Structure 1
Amino acid sequence: MKRILYITVLAGWMLCNTSCENYDETKIPEEYHKVLILQSAGEQTVTLYRTGEDSRYEMCIIKAGSENGLSAEAQLVVDEEWMDQYNEDNAEHYVMIPSEYYSFDTQNVQVQGDEQYKLLNLTFKTTNLDALISNNPGKKYALPIRLLSDNTTVSTTNNYVILQPSIVVPTVSFAKTGYQKTAITAQSSNPVSIEIPVTLPLDNKWEFECTVKLDKEWLDTYNTKHGTSYQLLPDASYTLQKTCQFAIGSNSSSIRLEVDRNNLSLGDYALPVKLESCTQDGFDLDENYYLAGISYLPPQIPLTLDMLSSNATVDGDGTGLTGLFDGLGSGKHYHSNYAGAVIDATYGHYIDIHLKTPISSIMFNYHTRYENGNGDPTEIIMYTSNDGQAWTKLGTITKTGLGGNAEYASSIFTAENKFAYWRFSVTKSAAGDVTNGAYFNLGELSIYGE
């Protein structure tokens, strides 16, 4: 009983030291001169990539004990009868992988006195094994391997492994998919270079190429689905390298997109890129798109207090209109009136900005109140004017509420004519209907225009 207890404690200790190189032998009871342990034991799922070549699985057998200089011997045994009993004891239904689908470089474990572990290779014939599994969908194939020895103590817990193969076709994919935004301004370098990373999810043993294509019609589908209005990046404004090379030993490459802002107007653009082909046989290509977003932004317009006015600034909550540009932090926010103090059925609560130089295009971003998002705008209607009296609607933004200290960025809105006044009108917020007694607040507001 004492012997079993020591070995069980030893196995538990080894589970906490998963690296073959990392353990402290002084913790092992001295009467155990040498003990062998399977590092990865129990039921294990093994991912095998179907590349047309065999797959290698590395097994690590650790030697522990009080006498470092002793050698240890054992055998790796594939035991179908033992697995049948395991199935019965554990209500499992594993089916033995036939021997023609795998091979060991050796099943004899020899750990020399100056060695702390031994690595042995198990090779799977992945293509054939994949066909076997595909042709027998109701069977749960596995390989039971036991660690046995006649002259060396073997862990009573980490002495077997049941390998369950999961065969995956390697798929080349973009490292990121969907909309990926790059913001540029007139001060950005030109051309703007964007690297689109492409990856392979395994150690690469091959030299091959992948190509991409453009799917311009897909942008309409994306805009409809997401409620966006990205323009297709004009042909004259970019060059796209359509081929990337993978070198042996590297599982990543990239496609280069260069954008010439001299051939762009202010606005939000996108270019839908999709993987098209691969020179390596057997590899799949991910179907997801990389949507290269280009936002050509106007310059920022610094806010000063003399530019700002409002119909509903509350006293004593935040720092008034200064809260729109005095930085982020607790108590540093703008808050409109609450408790129905100001009712405006058309504009709700608004902030007017008198621009020192008339502009025709504008965008903004803001942070919600630092402490919470209880007054985050959810419906914003923008207006323009040249005298601060007669207002023309520029656009409406409807959005969901954000939490505290969160950032929102608008798209670019362009008016038919230049304007000298811009109204940021909030009609709904997380607090309710602002045209009927609710309020809004902001932690910071920045505007950009020209």
Structure 2
Amino acid sequence: MKKVVKITLILPFLLSACNDNIDIQDWFPTEYHKILYIQESGEQEVTLYNTGEDNVYTFTVCKAGSDPSLEAHVRIDVMSQSDVDVKYSNNQGVPYKIIPSETFTYEPSELTFASSDISKKVTVAINPEKLKEIMELPSEVNTRWLLPLVAVSENDSINIDKRDYTLLINDVMTLLAGFKKTGTQIINHDYTSGTFVTSVPFGLLEVTNKWDINATIKVDKNYVKEYNNNNNTNYQIPADGSYSIDENVTLSSNMQNVSINISISDFGNRKSGCFMLPIRIANISRFELSAEANLYAPIVRLLGKRLDRSGWTAEACSEEMTGEGTTGRIMDVLDGNHDNFWHTSWQSGPFCNHPNESHYAVFDTKSEHMFTQVGIIQRNNSDWGLCVQNYEVFISSDKKNWVSAGRCFAERSTDELIADITPMKGRYVKLCFLDSRRSDGQINLSEVYFYGE
């Protein structure tokens, strides 16, 4: 005769007592000399992964009681389908079925506890490939699958609240591998520093890796043309022989990621512009490639070195000396404090009343440089800041003869906005602000940087 008992008060202790070797015999009434229970009892929602190997789960059957030195015997059975219908299908209005016997094993199915035994493990193995074939049958599309195991004993007491171990199968999925960083990524590179180097991790995307996986990587030159056509860009691909990638990599079973190294050693004397080097995973030795994680396309933006502003001076068509408190001066765009800013005069005077000319600022960098980019940070004020829009850059060596290095557009953003200009040598830089987003035409700006060498 099966014996099941309900002991509610000590359930919290049973969760840890089996593995922690806690002396719990005093917790039980003397009539319960020994009692058996499953430590991980209850429902476990699981997703199976089709790895070519069985998915393995374990649970622990524990022996306790006022005299746990007694021997005991327990059997692990599969719950009957009729009991499943009563417990699940009839209550939830969804057909629940026990997974077919050919898709799983568990062992041992019978456990004998000697006087010194307090716990024993049961291992469950499910074949995901076989189960997936059954789950995908048209007649089973609405079925919820489970493996309900129950501890049974003819002679020993079992806690009725902790005798079930049920695996509820959510899905069977194929393992996917791919890049851990995907899509395009703009990376600024100081062209004066030499070779550009970056890397992207490759690995399994959803589970802990325990397999050796080989992958072959290739450059996808066609993607550059497609991207340019779709995004109205003009990114270049590095010349053959100027770049290298890890074409063959191995993800070892003791690793979660392996880095794929990418380098570009020669940009053809370019000092500005963008290069794209998209790579794809051509094939892998096992599992499947993720379509969403099979492209990494670094966009290398060439910049000069950000020039040291120490000792620089600046002047402007006007600056606000009183109306902005402790800031408003043109030199504030060189102080590195984004809370300070230059503001054209609106209260203190003299005012910029030159309708046929642009507001401007002139910077003396104290020595000759090759200028390649201009970086500005707009004033962070939604009402009065973020006003710079179109501006033109002029370069001079003597502050008399100015040559245009190009026109630039500034987005409405608080990030540093770096614009390419025609590479040009000089000492002085003039920024002429062609318009303003403000209706009163005023200009304000937080920081100004120049790049080059």
**Counterpart contact for 2:314–2:361, Cα < 8 Å:** yes
Structure-2 change in CA distance of 1:348 and 1:256 (3 Å): same
Aligned match of 2:227 = 222
Question: Deviation of residue 422 (structure 1)?
Answer: 3.9
Aligned match for 1:364, one of 335, 359, 375: 375
CA distance in 1, matches of 2:175, 2:121: 26
Find out whether 1:316 has 2:325 as its counterpart.
Answer: yes
TM-score of the superposed pair, with normalisation by structure 1: 0.76
Find out whether 1:194 has 2:198 as its counterpart.
Answer: yes
Task: Work out the percentage of aligned pairs sharing the same amino acid.
Answer: 16
CA distance in 2, matches of 1:63, 1:347: 88
Question: Deviation of residue 261 (structure 1)?
Answer: 4.3
Q: For structure 1, which segment, 129-138 or 268-277, has the greater mean C-alpha deviation from structure 2 after superposition? A: 129-138
Question: Deviation of residue 424 (structure 1)?
Answer: 7.0
Structure 2 letter corresponding to 1:255: I
* Structure 1 vs Structure 2 CA RMSD: 4.2
Question: Deviation of residue 177 (structure 1)?
Answer: 0.8
SS in 1 for 2:9: helix
Structure-2 change in CA distance of 1:445 and 1:393 (3 Å): closer
Q: Gaps (5+ residues) in structure 1?
A: none
Structure 1 letter corresponding to 2:59: C
CA distance in 1, matches of 2:332, 2:63: 65
Question: Deviation of residue 345 (structure 1)?
Answer: 7.7
Aligned match of 1:297 = 303
Structure 2 letter corresponding to 1:292: P
Q: Deviations over 1:102-148 (max 9, x none)?
A: 11132335677767754432222222222222223623341231433
Find out whether 1:354 has 2:364 as its counterpart.
Answer: yes
Find out whether 1:245 has 2:257 as its counterpart.
Answer: no
Aligned match of 1:384 = 393
SS in 2 for 1:121: strand
Find out whether 1:87 has 2:86 as its counterpart.
Answer: no
Aligned match of 2:151 = 148
CA distance in 1, matches of 2:21, 2:232: 56
Find out whether 1:173 has 2:178 as its counterpart.
Answer: yes
Structure 2 letter corresponding to 1:133: M
**Counterpart contact for 1:317–1:335, Cα < 8 Å:** no
**Counterpart contact for 1:28–1:65, Cα < 8 Å:** no
**Counterpart contact for 1:20–1:60, Cα < 8 Å:** no
TM-score of the superposed pair, with normalisation by structure 2: 0.76
CA distance in 2, matches of 1:39, 1:62: 9
SS in 1 for 2:416: strand
Aligned match of 1:274 = 280
Question: Deviation of residue 174 (structure 1)?
Answer: 0.8
Structure 2 letter corresponding to 1:315: E
Structure-2 change in CA distance of 1:89 and 1:55 (3 Å): same
SS in 2 for 1:413: strand
Aligned match of 2:98 = 96
SS in 2 for 1:377: coil
Structure 2 letter corresponding to 1:353: F
1:394-405 pair list within 5 angstroms: 394-402=406-414
Aligned match of 1:57 = 56
Aligned match for 1:211, one of 197, 207, 216: 216
CA distance in 2, matches of 1:255, 1:346: 56
**Counterpart contact for 1:271–1:292, Cα < 8 Å:** yes
Structure-2 change in CA distance of 1:347 and 1:260 (3 Å): farther
**Counterpart contact for 1:172–1:198, Cα < 8 Å:** yes
CA distance in 2, matches of 1:346, 1:148: 92
CA distance in 2, matches of 1:229, 1:435: 34
For these two proteins, the number of residue pairs brought into alignment is: 426
**Counterpart contact for 2:405–2:421, Cα < 8 Å:** no
Structure-2 change in CA distance of 1:9 and 1:270 (3 Å): same
Structure-2 change in CA distance of 1:192 and 1:139 (3 Å): same
Find out whether 1:449 has 2:448 as its counterpart.
Answer: no
Structure-2 change in CA distance of 1:222 and 1:252 (3 Å): same
Find out whether 1:307 has 2:295 as its counterpart.
Answer: no
**Counterpart contact for 1:179–1:290, Cα < 8 Å:** yes
Structure 1 letter corresponding to 2:43: G
Structure 1 letter corresponding to 2:84: M
Q: Deviations over 1:215-258 (max 9, x none)?
A: 22322443455565433223242122311123344343232223
CA distance in 1, matches of 2:295, 2:97: 40
Q: Gaps (5+ residues) in structure 2?
A: none
Structure-2 change in CA distance of 1:360 and 1:179 (3 Å): same
Larger radius of gyration: 2
Structure 2 letter corresponding to 1:42: E
Structure 1 letter corresponding to 2:440: N
CA distance in 2, matches of 1:217, 1:82: 59
CA distance in 2, matches of 1:226, 1:395: 22
CA distance in 2, matches of 1:227, 1:312: 39
Q: Deviations over 1:338-371 (max 9, x none)?
A: 98987888988664433442534114264865xx
Q: For structure 1, which segment, 270-279 or 128-137, has the greater mean C-alpha deviation from structure 2 after superposition? A: 128-137
SS in 2 for 1:269: strand
Aligned match for 2:123, one of 100, 103, 121: 121
Aligned match of 1:132 = 134
